[in-house]
Chains A and B, each alone.
Chain A
Amino acid sequence: MKRDDRFVSDEFLHAFVDDQLDAAEKSQAFDAIGHDDTLKERVCELRGLKEMMKHAYAHPPTRVPAVKGRRSRASYLQALAACLLLCIGGASGWFAHVWTGVGSDREMARLLQSVQRNDIGGEPQKLIVHVSSSNPVRLKSALDETESLLDAYRRTNRPLQVEIIANGGGVDLLRADVSPYAKRIGMMQEKYPNLGFMACGQTIKKLREKGVDVQLLPHTGVASSALDQITRRLKQDWVYIKV
């Protein structure tokens, strides 16, 4: 900000009052004000105006409630309410998806049922079910739906092949010492030879590196990685369902 020594511009004084000057300019300003009473008066006046502004708007009046006939305000409020609802809905959906998996289970059930209904052709249905969470609710739902599907196909004599691939937390489903459904899985394997269980080799490797002793349930295969297995199956025209 340039300043003529003989004349101090209004802009310069305003910038001084608003604390917009750098250190050197501020020194110049103090120097000039110290030697000139008129400048001092102008600065005082500006500071007074600034204070007056703050004082005038320190407590602005609030809106009088229940004023009729202002459509725009109602629409603003509605927009805000809708926005808040959207946020709440979105957040709860997100957490439900992450923590309980209920939404995801429903989705899976829907997918499985649609598979069941649409299988009219003679080709055997091939499904790969991907479990990546150790949430017991989700694990149970995956087993329930798979079992009911296998059962339905068996009753109608239709061919079906299902492979459940587990990685991440989902590997817990297939660990002999951890799985809450070890016995059930054993029974399902016995009952349905067309059902296979695979665990992700990478996850097991990582667990072992951490010092965890991983013992899988009997008749459980190990894929090099879940991703590899899923890709392979997709190339073979399997239907992929993520739990």
Chain B
Amino acid sequence: MKILSLFSRSHGFHDQLQQSRVRLYRVAYSWSHDAALADDLVQETLSKALKNHGQLREPEMLNSWLFSILTNCWRDHFRQQREMEDIEEIEDYRCVHETTPEDEHAQTQIVGRVRGAVARLALGQRQVLTLVDLEEFSYVEVAAILEIPVGTVMSRLCRARRALKEMLQELAPVHSAQVSHIRRVK
């Protein structure tokens, strides 16, 4: 019976990992805006989770735990890719792409515009914003995942949304003369 319960536990764990895959991918993509890299990060995260699942003491913390692993994998990726002396710098690293992750024509679409704007946010802000908005983690959970104080989570979130709002206005398609004909009538 003990063996069976062990087996069913590990089976359940695999199922939960499988279910978390989509969520991890979504966040990894929102951080990197690169499908291949996001996929790698998720693979790495799941592989680490499988290897270290003994470290997870409270099963209800699975989600936060997985996103913490994802954060570490993301940091490792930056360590490999960019030789920064101080790893903390990546928090403020701004990924400015000459071309946005979406094609130019996608800029006219809301999805492309939002993704383009998020891609231009400082990484620290981007992480907080996506964890709160996409995964609906509480501020306390985000603080634990990213290993930063709750106050920092709140301030980064405010700055991120403010910047996002401004960028979305910047990225908004320029209305042609025809569009300007439309007026609000009270």
Contacts and interface: CB of A to CB of B under 8 A. Distances in A.
A57 B165 contact: no
Contacts of B3: 94-95, 98
Contacts of B40: 70, 72-73, 76
A64 B26 CA distance: 16
A63 interface: yes
B36 A64 contact: yes
Q: Which of A50, A54, A63 has the most chain B CB atoms inside 10 A of its CB? A: A63
A53 B134 contact: yes
A60 interface: yes
B86 to A, nearest CB: 23
A211 B154 CA distance: 68
A231 interface: no
Interface stretch (A14-22, A105-113, A134-142, A180-188): A14-22
Given A18-B132, A53-B118, A53-B134, A62 B110 contact: no
B47 interface: yes
A60 to B, nearest CB: 4
A20 B81 CA distance: 36
Contacts of A96: none
Interface residues of A, number: 36
B63 interface: no
> Chain B's interface: helix, strand, loop or mixed, by majority?
helix
Interface in A57-109: 57, 60-64, 67, 70, 72-73, 76-77, 79-80, 83-84, 87, 91, 94-95, 98
Given A11-B155, A83-B51, A56 B114 contact: yes
Contact of A76 (B47, B50, B115, B155): B47
A8 B50 CA distance: 45
A52 B115 CA distance: 10
B47 A83 contact: yes
Residue from A67, A76, A91 with most neighbouring chain B CB atoms (10 Å): A76
Contacts of A49: 161, 164-165
Nearest to B157: A14
Given A63-B38, A83-B50, A15 B139 contact: yes
A55 B134 contact: no
Given A49-B164, A52-B110, A55-B111, A20 B35 contact: no
Contacts of B80: 72
21 contacts: A10-B158, A14-B157, A15-B154, A53-B129, A53-B130, A53-B133, A54-B134, A55-B111, A56-B114, A57-B26, A57-B30, A63-B35, A63-B36, A70-B36, A76-B47, A79-B44, A83-B51, A84-B50, A91-B7, A91-B10, A95-B3
Interface of B: 3, 7, 10, 25-26, 29-30, 35-36, 38-40, 43-44, 46-47, 50-51, 80, 110-111, 114-115, 118, 129-130, 132-134, 136, 138-139, 154-155, 157-158, 161-162, 164-165, 168
Interface of A: 10-11, 14-15, 18, 20, 45-46, 49-50, 52-57, 60-64, 67, 70, 72-73, 76-77, 79-80, 83-84, 87, 91, 94-95, 98
